[in-house]
Structures are given as structure tokens and as C-alpha cells.
Chain A
Amino acid sequence: MLSDVLKKHFGNGQWNRPMVAFWIVFHLVLIGIPLFLYPIKINTDLYSVLPASHELHKVSEAERTLSSKTTSQFYVLVGHENFETAKKASEILYAAIKEDHSLDTVRLYVDPSSMQEIQNFLFAHRYQMQGPEMVRQLEKGEVDRISSDALSSVYGAFQFSSLDNLAKDPFLLGENSLNRYLSSSLFSSLAFGIKENVLVASDSGVQYVMLSGSLAPHVSAIAKEGHIIGRINELCAKMEKETPGLRLAFSGVPFHSYESSSNAQNEVMIISIISMLAIIVLFILVFRSPVPLVMVIGYIFVAGLTALCCTLWAFKEIHIFTFVFGTSLIGICIDYSVHFFMDWKSSQENKTGFDVRAHIFKGVILGFLTTEAGYLAVMLAPFPLLKQMALFSFAGLLSSLLTIMIIFPNLKLPTVEKRIVPLKAADILLKVYARIFALKRPAWICIWMVAIAVIISGLMRLNMENDIRGLYSMSDHLKKSEQLAARVMNLGTSGWFFIISGKSPEEVLQREERLCSRLDAEKEKGQLSSYMATTLFVPSLATQNHTYSLIREKLLPSSQNQLTQLGFGTAENEQFLADFSAASKAMVTMDSKLPSNLGPMLNTLWLGKIDGVYYSAVLPLHAKDQMVFKEMASEMDSVYFVDKMTDIGNELTRLSHIALGLVILAYALVLVVLSFVYGFRAAFRIIRTPLLACIIAASLLGHLGIPYNFFAIVGAILTLSIGIDYSLFFKENAKTMRTTMLAVLLSVVTTLLSFGALGLSSFAPVSTFGLSVLFGISFCFFLAPFNGTRPQK
């Protein structure tokens, strides 16, 4: 059967067996080995799109560890005017997901004994864990004040802690610790109180019950059938429908990752379907034969598979956005096949497919080399995702060239009488161009002046900032949800934080304490309301020893007097001194048994040992002037101010410039090479087309108010890589201008359909990239005939 098909469509009797064998081995190696070595792993982590910014290099691993901890956490607020209804709905949701293996933790209920556990912990370590205020008083020797403050509390009204242990703690050091803890309010969100064993906050008359959870480490955020986030969304939607007045708010990266990956998947599907349908319709219309269509589909499949496997080989995984961007490969691959089949289907002179190859060889090879030069240049950019996308396209294009040059020439040619293509569209376009070329000089001057004015005004409006915040636009539903959650939870975390590093846990904790004392000073000035830090519960050993020594030196001599004032005798004092002595071993470390309620928070803040270095994170709450904190970190040793969004924005701007510089360098090389082939003047005319197209596209983006960011620049780079082909095809095929115009038109239409679809993407970077290429390629096509080989009327 297969041999019949091969005999029918192939077999000019000129099979170049060594080359075909090379083609087979090439693809077997590049496709087979990676598939054998590595499973297909798709990375859907939004954060990994972003480069480790320059400022973060030293702590990028620690930052990633923190991100991986925080990005798996999520919150669902279940609200209703009636608390009972809200609680009941939250319990339904909790019951549905509490046993789910996709989740690491799910929390709805608060253990009523948790407060007692914290109180006991603080009491057990009262000689080590005193706040800066108490330490300051001890250092100053203000024993009378500490003593009388304790007596005032004992005789005063409304205490938070019991006086049962008064004989063991006559200076109320335990209560002092507890008050400090309560002031910092770290065990849960500030806005939440406990009601019927759940956390509840109210907003605009609605009672919100909080359910929190985190995805299990093995669970990817990618949207797929039966995903836990999808099931939570479905269940919540059902509850909302069934319970009038129920209000739900979702917060946390898993919801965003799920939504965006779901959109990305849908978009990949839509873009692919549109591209393929466009190809099918256009190919049938133009070639009126199933052979080119079948060949092109097979050829794109092989090129795509090669691209995927090479990327897997090099990166061990493939990012979901490489797929999205990679759809552009379809458009480029088609260009070469269109040129082949245009000659195959139209030229009366050809005897075999190898004659077709000879006709298109120079144009396709030059186009291929210039495009690949662009990809190679992009591959040099220090940005893994960009490298991945460039390698994907590079490998796919190489495969497509080999197929065109080795396999396609073996195709049987159609009979001479069937070598006809519909040239009406090409003729119309050629007529339009001929009229344009026939314009008189004053008309040209007017056109140029208007064009230059429009282009310059657009370029002046160009916004070249890379604001990461603007790149991800969440859906209205999720946006409202996050806004509501932020208002209700009132956590006050900023997009930035501190990371502290050290050679040992002790060094990290000591450095963190120095930072915290600076933060305390800023707190007094109103620059922040509070902060979350490990040392609030696990002070450094140096601080614990210092506190313990201060209490021994300053308070112990007064203990008998204090106990006497409280009505106790010498026996209680002796017991007190014995307890104090025994407590010298009660130092708190990260390995100590800490209150279970603090576990999740400390687990997030303490990043532990990464590549031989220890790290922790400090999160300021309700902070105001970011510069104050940035300056603070710059003055401190091994304390890093991490503002990921701003740093990454700056990094992307830097990378954009590097990538653009590399492509311009590649273009200079292309100019040199083309100068040898065509002479400098003609070579310059060829490359000016895509250059001008990029400038006009940038101007258009300026007029439309779309930022000319990193992704627009990547689009420009691709325009430069692809667009030069059109100039080359016109230059190379001046004698067959009608079929060349039709081939280029077909190429452009298929490419534009692919990128036009990308331009419709809801994900801003993809949309910007798509529009940048769409405009660039359109202008390339429009300008390509102006490269010196003018069509005549």
C-alpha cells in the first residue's frame, strides 16, 4: 500500500539515496534520542517565563524557593450576610477537597487550643524570648520599672494571660512575650477573628469564612481535566448558583496559573486550527491538488516534532509559551514549501523535482541562512525562555529546509497541462504596484513626507518600558475576586521583600535581627505597620544568650523582693532560681518543637540551606515608601531587597537591548554576505525592507498605545528574520514575477493568519508579540517589491 503511494507520487528515478538516508538518520537522531531519554515535560510555571534578574542573581535560588512555597498557596473566602450560611458553604467545600491527594494542606478549622500552645511556648522560653523594648530596659538596668510594671499588671484590670504561674514568673516576662506576639499578629491575617472555630472577617455586612490550602509538590498548575483548581471552581460556581447571596473570593497563584494555562491551551488550539484551516483552504484554492497539502502537513509535523525534541534534549523540558510562540514556525515553514510548490505547479520547463529545487535553491538558502542567523543571535541572549524559543524555531526550520531540499524534489511533477496556478490575485497586486511605481516625483515626495511625519509621530509616542505588572491581565472575574480578597484579608504584603543570607543559620538569624531593629525604627516613624520574620519566634542564639544573661544579672538579684511584694516566701524564690538555672538549656532553634500554628508561616519565611548557603525572608506589611527599605538593604551586609517585578522589568529592558543589538550584528553580517552575492547597493536594498518594516510597525504600536516592550522587540527580531525572505524571493525570481508574487502572497497570508491569531491572545506578551510581527510582516510584504526589481505595467 505504502509502496504504491510512494510509486504513484514519488519516483522520478532519481532518488538521492545517501541524502535521503542522511535525512532519515538526522530526524531519527534528533527525534528518537530525546524521546528515548526524556519524558515530554511541559513547564507551565508563569514565573519561569521571567529571567533571574541581575539584582537577584546572588539570591535567585532562595527567591525561587520562596516563590515555590508561596505560589502553591491559595485562599478561598466564602461569604454571606448570614454567618451560618457562609460557614455551611465553606464546610461543603472543605469536605469535598480535604482528602484530595492533589493538596498538601487544607485548613478551615482553627484549633481552639492553638492559642494556649503558643502561650505555653512563649512561657517556656520567657528567659530567651523578650522583645527589643524589654532588652533595652534590662540593658539600662531599669529593674524598678520592670518590677513595678509587673505589679501594676497583676493588680490592674483585664489581663490576657493567667496569673497561675506568678510564683514562677513574678516579673510577668511570659505575658510580656505574649503581648509582643499578639501585637505582631502573625498567626493569621490581621483582619480575621475566630468564630465557631473558623477564621472569619466581615466586609460591607458580609461575613467571610477563610479556607486556605496549598497544592501538593507533585501537582502542576496546568489546567487539565479533573484538576483540583478546576474542581474547586466548579464546586464554587455550583454553590453560588444554589445559594442566593453567597459571595466567593479566590486568591493565590494557583488560580491564576490555572486560568492562564487554560487560556494558553485554548489559544494554542485556536491558533493551530486557524493556521491549519487557512493552509488547507489556500492550498486547495491555489494548487488544486491534494499532494502539496498532504506533503506540507507531513512536513510541518516532522519539523514541529524535530523542534520539540531538540528543545527537550537541550532544556529537558519545554515551556508552554514556547508552544504558543512556536506556532509561528508553521508560518515560516510554509513559506519555503509554497515557493517549491509554486514552481512545481507552474513552471512548464521543469523535467523533475530537482529542477524545481534548482530554481528556488538560492532564494530559499539565502532566506534560510538569514532567518537562522536571526535565531542564532537570539539564542545568545541570556534568557532561557528566549533561547528555548529560538532553538525550537531554529531546529524546526532546519528540518523543514532538509525536507524541502532532500525529500520534495523526489515528488513526481504534475503533467504539463496541469501546471497552472490562479494568478489573478497576483496580477491585481502587480498592477497596483506598477501604478505606484508610475507615480510622478511630486506625488512620491508628498507620500514620503506624510509617511515620515506619521512614522515619527508614532515613534515619539512609543513607550519602551517593561512593566511586568502590565503583561499579565487577569480575567475580570479573577480580578474582582483578588480585589475583594485583598480588602477582606488586609494582609498588607507588598510585591517586594527582603532575603537574608549567611553561612550558618545563626549568621542569618543575627543579620535578620539587625534588619528587624531597623524595621522597628521605621515602624515608629509610620513607614510600615508590621513585618513577618523568623526571628520573632526563633531569635539568634546570641540574642537568646544575651537576654538570658541580662535577666540573670539584672532581675535575679531582685527576685526575692518581687516575690515578697506578691506575697510569696523564700521557698518560692529558691524554686524560681532553680527554674531559671534549668532554663539555660531551653534555647530555641529551627529544630525545636515550635507551636504547630506557626509551622506554615515559619516554613515559608525560613528558606533553609540552598547550595551551601542559608537564607530567610522578611516580609514587611503595609509598607509605604519603597525607597526607604531599598536603601536600608543596600546599607546592610547580605540583606537583599527583592522587588521582583521592577527588577525583572529592568532586566527585560536590558535583554531587549542585548537581543536587538545581536540581531543588528547578525544583519551586518548578512549585509556583508549579500554584498558578495549581489553587490552592496542591492544587498542594502534587500535588508532595508525588513528594517523599514520594523520601524513602521514600531510607529504603529506607538500610535495604538501598545508598549514597545521586550515582547514587541522579539516580534521585531522575527520580522527581521522572516521579512528578508520576501525581498530575496523578489530579487531572485524577477523573471517569474507573477508566480513569485503569488508565492509571497500565499506565504504572507498564512504567516499573517498565524500571527494575527496570536495578536488576539488575552495574554498581553503573546498579543504584543503577535501584533508586532503582524504589522512588521505586512509592511515587509508591502515594501518587498521596492527592492530594485520593479514590476512593470
Chain B
Amino acid sequence: MPKGFLFSFLGFVFLGVSFAGSVYDFPLNAENRPVLEKSFSILAAHNVTRGHFKQTKTITRISRTFISEGTFVIADGNGIIWDTQKPFPSTLVITSDKIVQKTPQGKNSTLDASDNAAFREFSNTIQAVFSGKPSALYSQFNIFFSVQGNQWKLGLIPKEEVVRSIISSIELNGDLTLNRVLIKDGNQDLTRYEFSAHKYSEDLEPKEKDAFGRP
């Protein structure tokens, strides 16, 4: 019996107790797909989500961990602002047509994603992961999903071999909010994002509009 079929069958039967295992044991199927979409619809209910993040990069080969923290803004239809505040400040703005990186020292690099497929794919992937719109993920990832109570886990493995050489897998954890993202790169190094202090609004603040280049 194909493994996928077995898991989807067991996933359906033991949906309530499946959360303890690895999310990658639970491929997305017709049964758990509505649950995923319902969970994500809660995430995408607001136009603008703001919050605090803590980032922990673990580089196994050199046995180093780099911890930083800051704030984020996820704005539906606009993009993402990633404002790292400690220990070294920098701002990353990702929109559908550009990726802008700024540092207080004056670095201001803009990567044009409008007609560059590599940047466009990167920008779309990041926005798809954080936007709460699973439909944007289906074409790019093999998707795994498990849920226990109101806690859910979403596992993403890039379909493309070339992307897998850069990002091996992405795991998202959440309930009513997105709480944690684990990104494993091609070298199996792990970057963990923990989100807290979520706040929601329908409109962007003026400086956020500036960052997105909106009038």
C-alpha cells in the first residue's frame, strides 16, 4: 500500500493524536486540507499583523549560534518589513517587486524582483510562508500538516531541487497566531523564528507606507 495513502488514512483516523510526531509524517491530503485552510484563514483575517520576533541561527559546522530580535510587519498585498533591532540593526523590506536591505551605517541595497525570476521566487516564497495563504504554497512546496486542538504544524519541503539546495525545509507552528518558524537550509543549519506580542490593524502606519514605497 502506498505510504502516502496509508498516512492520509491514519491521519484522518488519528487526527487528534498525530501532533506528537514529526509533521513530515503527515502529508497534506483531502482530509486535513480544510483544517489547514481554516487555520490559515484566521492568520489572514487582518490586513496588517505586527509583532515581535526572536531569531536564533545555529550554524553547526562552526558551532555558533547567532541570536537577534526585533519587530515585524506583515501587510496583506504590500509585503513584509523585518526590522532587526538587536544586536546589530538592519531592516529588510520584501515586496512583490523588490527586496530592500538597509543598515544604519548607510547600506541600502535594492534587488529588483519585478523582472528577476530568482528574486521574485524568493520574495513570493517568503510572502507565501508568512501571509497565511496556503494556496500560494501548493505550487512551490510539498506540504505536510498536523493539528492537535488549536495547535497546528505545517511542514514545507521545496519541490524544486535547486531550491532544496538552499532551503531544505520550513516548519511553521501556530494556533490563532503564527508562533514559530523553523527554516533548515541546504547545509542542515537551523534558523528559528519565535513570534510574540501580535497586534492587528487594518491600515499601515505612515513610516510603514514609506518603507513599502506606497503613497
Contact = CB atoms under 8 A, between A and B. Distances in A.
Interface of A: 110, 112-113, 115-116, 144-145, 148-149, 151-158, 160, 162-164, 166-167, 179, 182-183, 185, 190-197, 201, 490, 529, 566-567
30 contacts: A112-B165, A113-B165, A115-B165, A149-B105, A151-B87, A153-B101, A154-B57, A154-B88, A155-B68, A155-B84, A156-B68, A156-B84, A158-B82, A158-B94, A162-B186, A162-B187, A162-B189, A163-B57, A167-B62, A179-B109, A183-B112, A183-B116, A190-B116, A192-B117, A195-B159, A195-B160, A197-B161, A197-B162, A566-B64, A567-B64
B90 A152 contact: yes
Interface of B: 55, 57, 59, 61-62, 64, 66, 68, 82, 84, 87-90, 92, 94, 101, 103-107, 109, 111-112, 115-122, 126, 159-166, 185-187, 189, 193
Nearest to B164: A112
Contacts of B111: 179, 182-183
A166 B59 contact: yes
A444 B87 CA distance: 101
A144 B105 CA distance: 8
A153 B57 CA distance: 12
B125 to A, nearest CB: 10
A193 B118 CA distance: 6
Contacts of B117: 190-193, 201
Contacts of B121: 193
Nearest to A161: B166
Given A182-B111, A193-B118, A149 B103 contact: yes
A156 B92 contact: yes
Contacts of A164: 59, 61-62, 187, 189
A145 B62 CA distance: 25
Given A163-B59, A164-B62, A185-B118, 7 more contacts: A155-B84, A158-B122, A182-B119, A193-B120, A194-B160, A194-B163, A529-B115
Task: Identify the 3 closest CB pairs spanning chains A and B, nearest first.
Answer: A193-B117, A152-B90, A155-B68
Contacts of A183: 111-112, 116
Contacts of A182: 111, 116, 118-119
Nearest to A199: B117
A158 B104 CA distance: 18
B139 to A, nearest CB: 9
Contacts of A179: 109, 111
A157 B82 contact: yes
Contact of A162 (B109, B122, B185): B185
B115 A157 contact: no
Nearest to B86: A155
A529 B110 CA distance: 13
A179 B57 CA distance: 20
B165 A116 contact: yes
B34 to A, nearest CB: 25
Given A152-B107, A192-B117, A158 B92 contact: yes
Main secondary structure of the interface of A (DSSP, over half): loop
A300 B87 CA distance: 91
Contacts of A113: 165
A566 B66 CA distance: 8
Nearest to B167: A158
Contacts of A110: 162
A185 B68 contact: no
A190 B121 CA distance: 12
Contacts of B59: 162-164, 166
Looking at B94, B107, B165, the one whose CB has the most chain A CB atoms below 10 A away is B107
A155 B185 CA distance: 16
B95 to A, nearest CB: 14
A321 to B, nearest CB: 40
Contacts of B166: 115, 160
A115 B162 contact: yes
A153 B160 contact: no
B162 A145 contact: no
A312 to B, nearest CB: 50
Looking at A145, A148, A167, A179, the one whose CB has the most chain B CB atoms below 10 A away is A148
A195 B117 CA distance: 11
Contacts of A191: 115, 117
A336 B166 CA distance: 79
Contacts of B106: 145
Contact of B92 (A151, A157, A194): A157
A314 to B, nearest CB: 51
Contact of A156 (B62, B90, B186): B90
A154 B55 contact: no
A153 B90 contact: yes
A155 B90 contact: yes
Nearest to B69: A155
A151 B84 CA distance: 12
A149 B109 CA distance: 11
B108 to A, nearest CB: 10
Contacts of A154: 57, 66, 88
Nearest to B53: A157
